Structure formats: structure tokens, C-alpha cells
Amino acid sequence: MKLSRWNQLPARARQQGFTLMEALVAMLISGIMFTALYAGLHGGFRIIKMSRENTRATQIMIEHMEICRLYKWKDLTNTGGFLNTNPIPVAYYPSGSGNSSIMFTSRVILEPINFAPYPTPSYASDMRKLTVRVDWEPMGATNRTRQMSTHVARNGLQNYVW
């Protein structure tokens, strides 16, 4: 078996290679691919960060709902204490953020139920709408808000089932 050597190749074969234009096109395509890869990774990490913040906001809302569920009617309808419109600050320290935190501000609002356009029922004074609203400002982004609402009754659900 005879191996060809460089100097034994025809002159045209020894001069073949990439032209400047081919090299520039290859670099342009590589640059676009790396930019798209970076943008995809950045977008993925941003979505994960937003999902973590939304999950934390949901945890805060559920926590406040559960606290309100344990209140008696007279404590729930009392305007002082836990249930008022003053904001309740809750800090969140995302993993990998060091000492920086995101401050969540929650409000618990108890208000009468609006039955319009229907006539007001006789039990309207025994029901309230409970809304928990959480606001936060992620680092370098606009303010975000989540809220959860439910209805609470003076005697609970047991009197309405039977």
C-alpha cells in the first residue's frame, strides 16, 4: 500500500483551502448560533426565576388564607390586628443570590360581597369576601402582583350543606 505524500499531490490539490469569504460566512453562522444559544439560556433562567417568585407569592397567599381560616368570625370581622390594609412585609432570599432579597408585601382585605345585579340575599351580612394580595418588585423588573380571593361565612359551610 502506497501512501501519498504532500509533495506528490497535484499543485491544484495543494492550493485548495477556504477562501476569506467562506471563513467570514462560517464565523457569522457560528456567531449567530452562539448568540441564539446564550439568548435561549438567559430566557430559560429568567423563566425559572419568575416561576420561583410566583411560587413564593402563592405560598404567602396560602399562608395568610390558612391564618384567616383559623380565626373566629368576630376576630375575622374585627378591623384591628392581622386583618387590615397595612402591608405585611415578607423577605425572600432566592438561592444563589447571596444576601440580596426580594421583599414581598402582602395585604389581607375583608370586604362585603357585592351581589349586583342580583337582589341582596338575607344572608349577605353573614358573608364576606377575603382577598389576599401580594406585591413585589423583582430586581431590575417592573412590579408584579398576585391575588387570591375566597368567601367566608359566619357559620362556615356546615349550615349550608344540611
When mean pLDDT is compared across 88-92, 104-108, 118-122, 146-150, the lowest value belongs to: 88-92
Nearest to 95 by CA among 56, 133, 37: 56
Beta strands in 1-160 (DSSP E): 88-92, 102-111, 127-136, 144-153
Contacts of 63-66 with C-beta under 8 Å, sequence gap 24+, read 64/88, 64/106, 64/108, 64/132, 65/130, 65/132, 65/148, 65/150
- Identity of residue 3: L
State the average pLDDT over residues 103-129: 89
Give the predicted TM-score (pTM) of the model: 0.72
How high is the pLDDT of residue 88?
85
Q: Residues 34-83: pLDDT tens digits?
A: 999 999 999 999 899 889 899 999 999 999 998 888 888 888 887 665 66
**What CA–CA distance (Å, rounded) separates 61 from 132?**
6
When mean pLDDT is compared across 6-20, 29-43, 104-118, 147-161, the lowest value belongs to: 6-20
Give me the chain's average pLDDT, please: 83
